[in-house]
Amino acid sequence: MENEIKKGGISVETNHIFPIIKKWLYSEKDIFLREIVSNATDAITKLKRLSSLGQYDGGDEKYSVKVTLDKDAKTLTVSDNGIGMTEEELEKYICSIALSGALDFIQKYEDQNQNNGIIGHFGLGFYSSFMVSDTVEIITKSYTGESAVHWTCNGAGEYEIESCERDGHGTDVIMHISEEENEYLDKYKIREILDKYCSFMSVDIFFKDEDSSEDKKEEAEDDKPINNTSPLWLKNPSDCTDEEYNEFYKKVFGDYRDPLFHIHINADYPLNFKGILYFPKRTNEYESYEGQIKLFYNQVFVADDIKDVIPDYLLMLKGVLDCPELPLNVSRSYLQDNAYIKKVASHIVKKVADKLCSMCQNDRDKYEEIWRELKLFVEYASLRDRKFHDRVKQSYLLELCDGKFMTVEEYLKDCEETHKDIVYYATDKELQAQYISMFESQGSKIALFNHQLDTQYIGMCENADDKVKFKRIDSDVADMLKSDENAAENEELTKLFREVSGNENLNVSFQALKDEKVPALITLSEESRRMDDMMKMYAGMGMNVGDGQFPTEYTLVVNSKSPLIARLSEIGRDDPEKSKLMASEIYKLSVLAQRRMTSDELKSFLSDSFSLLGLL
């Protein structure tokens, strides 16, 4: 007796949308295979759920999804041994677009288990197969034992249904690849898609290329699943080792270097998402900070370029996030619920801050080892988000000129007797060596701020806490550097230094310094210098702010206790030209100890030096 054949056309709730599906449903055609394989894993997940509820006895049945490529037949087949469909279910879920079998299944069993793991509730997922196929077949048999059904549909949406035979329950989706999409008959292309989208799906997935069946090596590979059904992010952090975290990072992101650290996230209600974030190691300062977050939905890869899920100042992080409650559109390519995403992003920010604080408190040696690579990130993130700064400020380390590290709190406590509530810093250890030596000789420690971002960061810190001030070591003469003696002003020397400097308005101050070997030094007000730094930053951005070499608010501090200054006063009375030469040399040495000379200044300095040597 011949099988009764039913014919019909795909019904839709709006206008006929097959042409739209074929061209516009998904942003990338490759996604079709993810959708079909996801549906197959859903079918198995449903059957496992029924088995756990005692409504199906599967015994020791092993579940899997098989992807088979037959280049000669021009077909790509995805098979599962899951729940299958009856003819009625097939007509309901396949022949009417925008209905979803997963949605019905969840609604039916939602009271028994909220976390059912069903991923395919997007309705249109199956029809992505028509993006690359001119004909799609379904052979399916329900776990209930009802007869198998064969469904065939062309690219125009015209289908036929008939009964057929199938060994065991489950579903085969057979895609007849169209001529213009022949690239999907390439085994390397298919394996690439599977590796990208299906590497961590919850059911074993096998890939077989019929044309390679005689190759024993490839045949052996066919016996191994292409995915890991228990990815690291699903495990308890206490059960994972650093070696496992590093190995996972290298495999997923193709980096040969170990990351600096990792953060294992296991967020509970109401966010309910898991993931692992890594801070990658950079080879040098100029290496890109761009990271990569791979977004998953119940172990199904969604995208790796969605920026909204973490703040922009954390985009240097690499990692995976699995969000089973992620609000996505039909193609799973765009986020839709800003409120949920903001909560996820906020939780991630907190976890990153907590990790930094934890390392600083509990693993200080390692934290100091990686601090140089973390510093700019912490500063930038703090500048962008005051709440982040408030969370991590106790873990911010000052790198000292002697190579050691201290938190700001530790520094202030250590230097309480020499300079209370002030953090003195240098920006160039070599250029400011004289100033550093003067401070260190008095028992003070000097922090090193040698990046353009540092000035902005310390300004923000001062605004956040008015009890702490940051001063560069050449901003003034600290009390600890002065002796108890009073220094009298000397109008003759003031006039002389203004003359040799070429600046009639030069600020000249006489002070008694403890270090008698230093005849004079230059100080520059912190406010003036920060403004100069800002102007340089603007100039670097292409803004026209002038090219002045030296801000105007600087002072030449003359050490009244220096024997050289006393000698200069004596010579001035007997040999004005010689004293002028000496004053010029003292001034230029002060400039040299404070900043780099201009070419004209260097020429003049060398000329004066040669002249002085000639007088010996």
Q: What is the CATH number of the domain that holds 50?
A: 3.30.565.10
Tell me the pairing of strands 300-303 and 292-297.
antiparallel
pLDDT of the residue at 548 = 46
Residue 275 has phi, psi (to 5 degrees) of 170, 170
Residue 33 maps to a domain: yes
Low pLDDT (below 70) residues in the chain? 1-3, 8-27, 96-124, 212-222, 283-289, 305-307, 327-338, 537-552, 616
pLDDT of the residue at 222 = 60
Based on the domain organization, do 242 and 166 belong to the same domain? Answer: no
Residue 412 maps to a domain: no
Based on the domain organization, do 238 and 204 belong to the same domain? Answer: no
Last residue of a domain, one of 171, 198, 222: 222
In terms of residue numbers, what domain contains 72? 6-222
Secondary structure (DSSP) of 336-348: --HHHHHHHHHHH
Based on the domain organization, do 206 and 255 belong to the same domain? Answer: no
| Angle at CA of residue 445, ends 440 and 448, nearest 5° | 110
Based on the domain organization, do 27 and 155 belong to the same domain? Answer: yes
Closest of 294, 332, 292, 298 to residue 316, by C-alpha = 292
Tokens of 514: 């403890």
Read off the DSSP letter of residue 330. T
How far is C-alpha 241 from the chain's CA centre? 22
Based on the domain organization, do 192 and 239 belong to the same domain? Answer: no
Write out pLDDT tens, residues 342-388: 888 899 999 999 999 999 999 999 999 999 999 999 999 999 999 99
Cβ neighbours of residue 563 closer than 8 Å, sequence gap 6 or more:
516
CA–CA separation, 477 and 555 (whole Å):
10
Residue 373 maps to a domain: no
The number of beta carbons lying within 10 Å of the beta carbon of residue 599 is 7
Q: Check whether the bond before 270 is cis (ω within 30° of 0).
A: yes
* 446 within 8 A of 473, measured Cβ to Cβ: yes
Residue 265 has phi, psi (to 5 degrees) of -105, 130
For 62-142, list the strands marked E by DSSP.
65-70, 75-80, 133-141
Based on the domain organization, do 218 and 296 belong to the same domain? Answer: no
pLDDT of the residue at 14 = 37
Tokens of 475: 């901003």
Residues in the chain, total: 616
CA distances (Å), 45 to each of 39, 118, 261, 523, in order? 10, 7, 35, 73
Based on the domain organization, do 153 and 268 belong to the same domain? Answer: no
pLDDT of the residue at 116 = 41
Last residue of a domain, one of 187, 222, 257: 222
Based on the domain organization, do 217 and 286 belong to the same domain? Answer: no
- Indicate the number of domains in the chain: 3
Based on the domain organization, do 129 and 55 belong to the same domain? Answer: yes
Largest CA-CA distance found in the chain, in angstroms, rounded: 133
Helices (H) and strands (E) in the chain, counts: 18, 21
Residue 108 maps to a domain: yes
Write out pLDDT tens, residues 221-266: 567 999 999 999 999 999 999 999 999 999 999 889 999 999 999 9
| Angle at CA of residue 248, ends 246 and 252, nearest 5° | 120
We report the CATH number of the domain holding residue 255 as 3.30.230.80
Last residue of a domain, one of 312, 340, 363: 363
Residue 399 maps to a domain: no
pLDDT of the residue at 288 = 62
pLDDT of the residue at 447 = 96
Half-sphere exposure of 405 (CA within 13 A, CB side): 15
Residue 195 maps to a domain: yes
Residue 165 maps to a domain: yes
Secondary structure (DSSP) of 152-217: EEETTSEEEEEEE--SSSEEEEEEEE-GGGGGGG-HHHHHHHHHHHSTT-SS-EEEEEGGGTT-HH
pLDDT of the residue at 342 = 83
